Structure formats: structure tokens, C-alpha cells
Amino acid sequence: MSTLTSVERDTTIFDLINKEQHRQESGIELIASENFTSPQVMEAAGSVLTNKYAEGLPGKRYYGGCEVVDEIEQIAIDRLKSLFGATWANVQPHSGAQANTAVFLACLNPGDKIMGFNLAHGGHLSHGSPVNISGKYFQPVFYGVEAETGLIDWDKVEKQALQEKPKLLICGASAYSRDWDYARLRNIADQVGALLLADISHPAGLIAKGLLNDPFDHCHIVTTTTHKTLRGPRGGVIMMRNDFENPFGITTAKGKVRMMSSLLDSGVFPGTQGGPLEHIIAAKAIAFGEALTDGYANYATQVAKNAQAMATAFIDKGYKIISGGTDNHLMLIDLRTKNGVDYGLTGRLAENTLIKADITINKNMVPFDDKSPMVTSGIRVGTAAITTRGMVESDMARIVDLIDMVLMNHDQEAKIASAKTEINTWMKQFPLYV
């Protein structure tokens, strides 16, 4: 008899897992970087594939017994390429940050200059923040939004790039609600001889279904997470539509020029990771398959519709949305004034108060914020998760009404408790896992 069959069930952890499932099912999930996966994605993520070590790539492993995981990983690669019209993909990165780090290792030398979107304006930690490896090992410079519009001025980006001459130009964000001009950015990159990297971690699902501009014909390299609008397991991937000879003169041992895909593969393994998580890769493959369906296309369209309806509802209540609206699934809200009045709201106060009502958002810095990252003047909200539950445009106004009621009565525990009861009852109409 296997010694595994006699292992005592860890009720401490499983009780907490059940508690977390109840939390997810009972409340309104508005964190823009979160979503709910399908049961089959979770089933694969918890499968026996977690037992298999598989350093290397399909057909080129450093371990035996990889015949099955080779098939699974190749299916994940093929489905991902089909989803985005790519010609090459690596599905092994453990996260979006890991995917970006692999790109940096493949394309840069320590001290090289990179130019990315300012974290304080809605950018991402892995695009040059001084507390991240991207800012510690490379020389970061940043572009941002205009104070008056909340939009990126592409003319200013071009002027800055011509002055700074980065080796890598990065586009993409974690809290920017507008589409990106990839064609313009490629023109800028070409002028300064830079590679162009698009990190589409947030809007990837909408891009895959043609709802936003396509970065693939313009950007040399594209990275994304798999767990936001793509609705898959937590992880990352790297893709290209058009492979190309590396511009660094790097050759193989036989003197043949290495293609960029080969450098990127090496950037993942052995550059930044060891064995891939084949159970997560299987879950990715399932999610990519789901994303190829007509049902997912309808879902992505509804995500965008819900975001626009929610933005309108917030604006109608007098809240300030950075850039004045949204093109994707999220919005960044400046809480310093509402209808021109300062109600003393901060991002931290809003996050902590809304949690009491079972509404989950995250505090977020806004451009030109006068508060610390642990306090912030804003919140970020997104519609990916609530759309997965089946909510539509007509539900967005009610959500905003509840948020507004809680925030305007943040010191009234009875009203917050009443909102929580209403939300818990309402969410029973949108079951997650039945």
C-alpha cells in the first residue's frame, strides 16, 4: 500500500481553502488583476503533473519520462499561437514578472537603459521600478501621462526616447485604461534602434478577440500573464508573431546566428527558471482552448461593455476617472474629490471599508499622487471577474451605487453591514462553482 494513502488530511489548510471559496463566492470581486478560472483549469492545476520534472523544451528535455508532458506543453504552445496569431511562444514563465525578466536577460546587459511606463502613473513593477530586478540591474527611465488629461502624449514619448536612446522600449501597464498606439511606438523604437516589448498582461483577452489594438505586428516581443482577462491559472508567457535574427551578433557554437526565439527560450531556462510547472502549463493549455471558443469571445466583449457602463456610473456619481473613461476592462479612480468636494477619502480607507461590505478592490496610486504607496489617493477596479459570474451592464450601476453608499458612510458600521447583507444575498444569483 502506498504511504500516501495513510497521510492524515490537513483539515487546517482545507478549512481555510473552504473559507476562501466562501469569501470569493459571497462578495463582489473588482480587483482588475483577478478572475475566476473554470473547474477544469483548477483540476489540471492540481493534477499529478505536479510530480513531473521537465527541464528543457518539448523534445529537448534534461529528464526522462517526459513523453506525456511534451504533448501537453506542445498543445499549450500551439493553442496560444493560434489565439494570438503568433509564430513562436514559450509557455513556461511562472508569472508575468518572470516572463519580463527572461526577456531582459535575453536582450540586455547589466546597466543597459530601458524606458517604460511610470509605475506611479499606472505602470508595472517589472518595467524598471528601483525595488525590482528590472530597476536594480538596468538603467530605467520613464514616461507618463499628462496631468490635465490622464493620457500618454506620444509626441513627448518620442522626444524623450530620442534623447535617452534606450536599448529596450516597454509599453503596457497595470492601471492605464486606454488603448496603446503600438504602430507609433514601433516607429519611435526604430528611430533609436531599440527593441519594443509589449506587456499586455491586463488586456490580453480583449486583444486576442480583436477588441483592442493588436501589438504583434509592431512589437518585437509580447509578454502576458495568463490569469487576468485570459481567465487561466496564474502564470506568464512570451510570444512573437515574427521571429528575427538577434541584433546582438550572438551565434551558436557552430557560428550560426541565433534567432531571437532561441535567446528568449534560453532567457527562461536556464536563464531565470529551472523546471517548468507542467501542471500549470496543462491548466494554461485548457484556458487557451477555452479562449479560442465563441463563448469566450462573447465574454470578452461583455467585459468591455461592463467596464464602460461602470465608468459611466462612477462619472455620473461625480467620481474622477483618470483619462475620463476606459477602453479596456479597468479604470483608475482619483478619490481626492467627488463633485469637486474633498470627503477625506484615501485608497487605503476605501479598500479597508469596502472589504467590510464584501467588495474587493485595491488601493492604487494615481498620477502625481501626493500620498504614499501604502495610503494612495486612488482605487483601481475591473470587470473581468464579475463578468465571469454572469453580470451585465445593468448590474454595473447597482455595484457603483453600493460602493458609493459605503464610501460616503465609511464611519457608519450599520450601513456598511446592511450593504454586506445585500451583497451576500445578491451574489447567490451568480453562483461560481455549483
Q: Which residues are catalytic?
A: 53, 55, 199, 225, 228, 234
Pairing of strands 56-57, 60-61: antiparallel
Q: Which residues are registered as beta bridge partners of 28? A: 359
**Is 22 flagged in the annotation as binding?**
no
Whose CA is closest to 207, among 330, 302, 84, 91? Answer: 84
> Is 119 within any annotated ligand binding site?
yes
b/e 381-412 (16+ beta carbons within 10 angstroms → b): bbbbbbbbbebebebbbebbebbbbbbeebee
Q: For residue 335, say whether it is annotated as part of any ligand binding site.
A: no
Does the annotation list 407 as a binding residue? no
Pair type for strands 28-29 and 330-338: unpaired
Q: What are phi and psi of 245, to 5 degrees?
A: -65, 135
CB 269 within 8 A of CB 55: yes
CB count within 10 Å of CB 423 equals 19
Q: Cell digits for 201?
A: 498582461
Question: Among 25, 12, 16, which Cα is nearest to 388's?
Answer: 25
- Binding site residue list: 119, 123-125
- Binding site residue list for (6S)-5,6,7,8-tetrahydrofolate: 119, 123-125
